[in-house]
Structure 1
């Protein structure tokens, strides 16, 4: 004879057992209440029928009268029992309906708890933390199979994202060599002793401009790939106020050319310090300031504020600009590569469309948050929150 095999603990089996037990308990409770209320013992009164004497001899007529009286009493008892049975059934049905709903909610909550955990964990996992896994524990049932399948999907996605970032970084690095060769060839061609035609000089200037644009684009790719990999070596304590002031000072000529008014009164407080990679954080603030200058109107304004939150956990940098009114949905897409405000991908300006996507990657790599808002009055508000660290003692002295 074949050895008896224990059935696998599947979700279907658990549902069968739980619902079967609940139905059985409901039936038992219904019968118990019904018996207590409707099936109580009903005693027939033994009072003699009207007009009968205790000592009267039994005659046929008296016997017939007594039988008729007993039948009437029996009918009354049956009617009373039916009424009690109906009341008991209704009461039992109401009580067990409430009990069944409560028990069903409790049981459903316990059964669906693993699914809620899977849903919450899946919502939390994004492109920035694909290394996390559900790692659901429990019996090998359908829910466990679902969690393991999601983990396998996340593993494949992590590999794909890593391969994509490696390709972008490697391609950007390898393309720098031919670009440098092309730039050197232009310089050599223009440096010949014989006179160079004017058309050649103009063409060389246009080519050099395009090469510079491609070089900036490749540099943006490298920075973006580095930030997305989380390669944050050489962490040090940095002041957001000092970084913002340095970025403004380096772009003073561009600010003057656009006749912009800079309000940096909110950067007086030097309590907003964080820890991170100096190169990446400098690039982050540079990109925010560049974006504020580029996407602004002539004779507009820029407002900078650096603060530390009241709960002493976040260092904040807020950059606001004036300008035209933007759509919030368009602003939300600015963290994606090659997204610009009021321009398409064929934009031929100096921007690469990577500025705020690099900012978002650097902020995420440092454990911070980026909030982009279209101001109702016009312009853009960029708020960066990074983990706060204590101000160095030498600065406080």
Structure 2
């Protein structure tokens, strides 16, 4: 029963077939009607004969020429109607069958798309339609579906890498805490000083895990806003964010004896104030964290015109190959350093990029000669 209902459902193939049949039979019926109506105008042999002329038929019957003409027209109409209806039926049947076959061949890629969508899963994202037919709308649909699968595959792979990296990052501080606790608790000779040392190690590890969770939440929040209307928008000066970030990093800047130079002019953007403050904070934190003793840090904000504002933060530090710079904006990338040996979560520039995209802006970075990086953020001006 279900098979019968499925076969009789108004599919696109059936609708195209019926439409083609109706159009073909309708056109034939119109031509037949026109021919039937014009026979009287075409067949008028009596008009060339003398009035009162009679016509003798083959059976000896004699008829006035007018009656004979009416008889010829009636017979012609009857024969045209009979043969025309037969021809119309044959043409209609052939047209329906041909339309059904052609529609089936034309819609075959759609069935491939449907079948692939039904069996699509995480393990089959590498399959593609790869349509090789005519360059028509169906080919465009198949190509669009293949492109969508490419994007889905890339997204799944990026998600897998992100989850694996996040798990690795969280596992490290947790493992440190567990190891310190196990070693200290099982040490029968451990004194108060040893327990205090363990507490400091556990506190540092928990702070690292807490910082990673906070960074993941900010990254998720920023990426959720990308391509959508921001939930909260106010005017915020990027220069204020830089001032706040430098103040928060004052102790670390002093410890590394960094030479800080700023040129902070009004650069008012409109957006989420928390995200914009986090953007400036991450750039300053990265510039301090990946710097070296007696290094330099520079920051400037400006409104160059063209409806945009700009924030530039640069620093000295270890050398970065320009070819590796795009990868620094990926989560958990630290310019070639081992994740377990570097400070921070490796999410700083990822968050910067996500915040920029959420606000309709762009971010770019340039490796500095001798080491270091300069990051330029461009946002729409308020």
Same fold (TM over 0.5): yes
TM bracket (short chain)? 0.5 to 0.7
Q: Is the 8 A contact 2:295 2:317 kept in 1?
A: yes
Pick one of 328, 350, 356 that aligns with 2:349: 356
1:3 and 2:87 aligned? no
Q: Secondary structure at the match of 1:346?
A: helix
Q: Distance in 2 between matches of 1:369 and 1:257?
A: 32
Q: Distance in 2 between matches of 1:292 and 1:8?
A: 63
What CA deviation, in whole Å up to 9, does each residue of 1:305-361 have, x standing for no partner? 1111232x21100012123432112222111111113511222x4311111111111
Q: Could you state the TM-score of these two structures normalised by the residue count of structure 1?
A: 0.53
The 1:355/1:162 distance shift into structure 2, 3 A limit, reads closer
Q: Secondary structure at the match of 1:141?
A: helix
Runs (4+) of structure 1 moved beyond 6 Å?
A: 161-168
Structure 1 residues not aligned, in runs of 5+: 12-137, 187-194, 390-397
1:202 and 2:189 aligned? no
Q: Distance in 2 between matches of 1:334 and 1:240?
A: 22
Alignment of 1:98-117 (within 5 A): none
Q: Could you state the TM-score of these two structures normalised by the residue count of structure 2?
A: 0.55
Q: Is the 8 A contact 1:10 1:140 kept in 2?
A: no
Pick one of 328, 335, 342 that aligns with 1:334: 328
Question: How far apart are residue 240 of structure 1 and its match?
Answer: 0.8
Q: Is the 8 A contact 1:9 1:141 kept in 2?
A: no
Q: Secondary structure at the match of 1:360?
A: helix
1:142 and 2:139 aligned? yes
Q: Is the 8 A contact 2:283 2:313 kept in 1?
A: yes
Higher helix share: 2
1:295 and 2:290 aligned? yes
Pick one of 350, 359, 363 that aligns with 1:366: 359
Question: How far apart are residue 10 of structure 1 and its match?
Answer: 9.0
Pick one of 247, 256, 259 that aligns with 1:258: 256
Q: Is the 8 A contact 2:295 2:316 kept in 1?
A: yes
Pick one of 224, 239, 242 that aligns with 2:240: 242
1:315 and 2:313 aligned? no
Aligned length: 243
Question: How far apart are residue 167 of structure 1 and its match?
Answer: 8.3
Question: How far apart are residue 279 of structure 1 and its match?
Answer: 1.1
CA RMSD of aligned residues (A): 3.8
Alignment of 1:5-24 (within 5 A): 5-6=98-99, 7=102
Q: Distance in 2 between matches of 1:149 and 1:247?
A: 45
User: Where does residue 380 of structure 1 map in the other structure?
Assistant: 373
What CA deviation, in whole Å up to 9, does each residue of 1:200-245 have, x standing for no partner? 2211221111111111111111111111111732211000111111
